[in-house]
């Protein structure tokens, strides 16, 4: 039977708006640029996101001249089908460095707490996850 021990705990952050509270699991990720620079980003852990997605205005971090230089893809969001551009980048997540696809999406709302969504493709295959909703925590193992 596999071990269910977790090495990392991700605490949720409370976001208050219009008198309502929402608890958000935010993950600190390091984007490693093509020139080797390391940029810290906060991403929303999103089990509904197929691909890690960043706001389109962050394209300079990828060494791009515009956000729409990559492979054009139609992607399904809660608001319907939208155009995104696909790139492969290097992320450091929970101490592991991985090559994974990301989408740049113009329709991703600007939020002061996070720069994008941490999605499933490649990233989730590297880890095991557990949730404890009552205490607003996400648990992560690098040895699933």
User: The domain that contains 94 carries what CATH number?
Assistant: 2.40.70.10
Give the domain range for residue 77.
Answer: 25-127
Q: What average pLDDT score do residues 63-91 get?
A: 92
What is the average pLDDT value for the chain, to the nearest integer? 91
The CA distance from 107 to 56, in Å, is 8
Widest CA span in the chain? 49
What's the number of domains the chain is made of? 1
Q: Is residue 8 part of a domain?
A: no
Q: Is 115 exposed, middle or buried (0-12, 13-18, 19+ CB in 10 A)?
A: buried
In which band, very low, low, confident or very high, does the pLDDT at 2 lie, cut at 50, 70 and 90?
Answer: low
Residue 5 lies in a domain: no
**Domain assignment of residue 134, yes or no:** no
Going by C-beta distance under 8 Å and a sequence separation of 6 or more, which residues neighbour residue 18? Answer: none
Question: pLDDT tens across 46-57, in order?
Answer: 998 999 999 999
Among residues 69, 144, 130, 74, the alpha carbon closest in space to that of 107 is found at 74
Q: Which strand (E) or helix (H) includes residue 76?
A: strand 71-77
* pLDDT confidence of residue 28: 96
Residue 140 forms part of a structural domain: no
Ramachandran class of 118: left when φ > 0, alpha when ψ lies in -120 to 50, beta otherwise:
beta
Asked whether 116 and 55 are in contact (CB, 8 A), the reply is yes
- Would the pLDDT of 65 be above 70? yes
**144 within some domain:** no
C-alpha–C-alpha distance, residues 3 and 74, integer Å:
38
Domain annotation covers residue 16: no
CB atoms within 10 A of CB 67: 20
Residue 80 lies in a domain: yes
Question: Does 69 map to a domain?
Answer: yes
Please state the rounded mean pLDDT for residues 89-106. Answer: 95
């Amino acid at each position: 039977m596999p071990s269910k021990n977790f090495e990392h705990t991700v605490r949720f952050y409370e976001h208050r708006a219009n008198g309502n509270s929402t608890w958000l699991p935010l993950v600190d990720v390091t984007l490693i640029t093509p020139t080797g620079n390391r940029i810290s980003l906060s991403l929303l852990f999103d089990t509904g996101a197929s691909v890690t997605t960043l706001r389109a205005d962050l394209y300079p971090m990828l060494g791009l001249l515009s956000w729409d230089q990559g492979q054009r893809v139609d992607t399904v969001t809660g608001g319907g089908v939208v155009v995104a551009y696909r790139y492969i980048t290097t992320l450091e997540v929970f101490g592991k460095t991985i090559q994974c696809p990301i989408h740049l999406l113009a329709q991703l709302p600007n939020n002061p707490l996070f720069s994008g969504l941490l999605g499933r493709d490649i990233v989730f295959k590297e880890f095991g996850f557990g949730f404890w909703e009552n205490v607003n925590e996400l648990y992560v193992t690098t040895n699933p």
